A and B are shown apart, each in its own frame.
Chain A
Amino acid sequence: MFSRSILRSFTSELRFTARSSISAAPLPQRACLHQTSWLRTTQQQSQSQSQSPNPESPLGATPRAQDTQPEIQQGSKAPSTPTSTSNTIIPQTRADVPIEKQPVAPNFDTPLEITKSLMSSLPHLAGQTPHYVVAELHARPYLLTAGDHIRLPFLMPKVKPGDILRFNRASAVGSRDFTLKGSPYVDERLFECRVRVTGTESEPLRIKEKTKRRQRHTKTAKSKHRYTIMRVMDVRVKTPEELLQEGAVVVEDTENTTKVEARS
Chain B
Amino acid sequence: MPVKGIRTVASARNGVGAFILQCKRLDFHYCNFWASSRGMLNFLTKDLPAFAREHPQIEIRVSPRPAKHPVIKGHYINGHEKAICVRNLEPEDIMKKTMILKEASGDKLKRTKKPVTSVNESVRGIWSPYHGDLRGV
Closest to B125 in A: A176
Chain B contact residues: over half helix, strand or loop, or mixed?
loop
CB-defined contacts of B133 to chain A, threshold 8 Å: 264
Is A144 touching B14 in the complex (CB atoms < 8 A)? Answer: no
Q: Min CB distance, B95 to chain A, in Å?
A: 15
CA A153 – CA B111 in complex, angstroms? 11
CA A120 – CA B16 in complex, angstroms? 32
Contact with B along A116-157 (1 / 0, CB 8 A): 000000000000001110000000001111111111110000
CB-defined contacts of B119 to chain A, threshold 8 Å: 147
Give the size of the chain B interface in residues (CB under 8 angstroms): 30
| B5 within 8 Å of A (CB atoms) | no
Is A162 touching B21 in the complex (CB atoms < 8 A)? Answer: yes
Is B111 touching A200 in the complex (CB atoms < 8 A)? Answer: no
Closest to A199 in B: B103
CB-defined contacts of B135 to chain A, threshold 8 Å: 264
CB contact under 8 A between A149 and B118, given known A201-B107, A202-B109 = yes
| B63 within 8 Å of A (CB atoms) | no
CB contact under 8 A between A204 and B15, given known A145-B123, A199-B105 = no
Closest to B124 in A: A176
Is B22 touching A146 in the complex (CB atoms < 8 A)? Answer: no
Most buried by B among A145, A162, A202, A230: A145
CB-defined contacts of B104 to chain A, threshold 8 Å: 199-202
Is B110 touching A203 in the complex (CB atoms < 8 A)? Answer: yes
Q: Min CB distance, A228 to chain B, in Å?
A: 9
Contact with A along B8-32 (1 / 0, CB 8 A): 0000011110010110000000000
Give the size of the chain A interface in residues (CB under 8 angstroms): 37
CB-defined contacts of A147 to chain B, threshold 8 Å: 13, 16, 118-120
Contact with B along A190-209 (1 / 0, CB 8 A): 00000010111111101000
CB contact under 8 A between A263 and B132, given known A146-B120, A176-B124, A200-B100 = yes
Most buried by A among B21, B118, B123: B123
Closest to A143 in B: B116
| B136 within 8 Å of A (CB atoms) | no
Is A151 touching B115 in the complex (CB atoms < 8 A)? Answer: yes
Q: Min CB distance, A226 to chain B, in Å?
A: 8
Is A204 touching B120 in the complex (CB atoms < 8 A)? Answer: no
Interface residues in chain B, defined as those with a beta carbon under 8 Å from any beta carbon in chain A? 13-16, 19, 21-22, 100, 102-105, 107, 109-112, 115-121, 123-125, 132-133, 135
Please provide the 8 A-B residue pairs with the shortest distance between their CB atoms, ordered closest to farther.
Answer: A231-B15, A196-B15, A199-B103, A132-B123, A200-B103, A204-B109, A148-B118, A264-B133
Residue pairs across A and B with Cβ atoms less than 8 A apart, 25 shown, are A130-B123, A132-B124, A144-B116, A147-B13, A147-B119, A148-B120, A149-B117, A149-B118, A151-B115, A151-B117, A153-B115, A175-B123, A196-B16, A196-B19, A198-B19, A199-B104, A200-B100, A201-B107, A201-B109, A202-B100, A202-B109, A203-B110, A226-B100, A230-B15, A231-B16
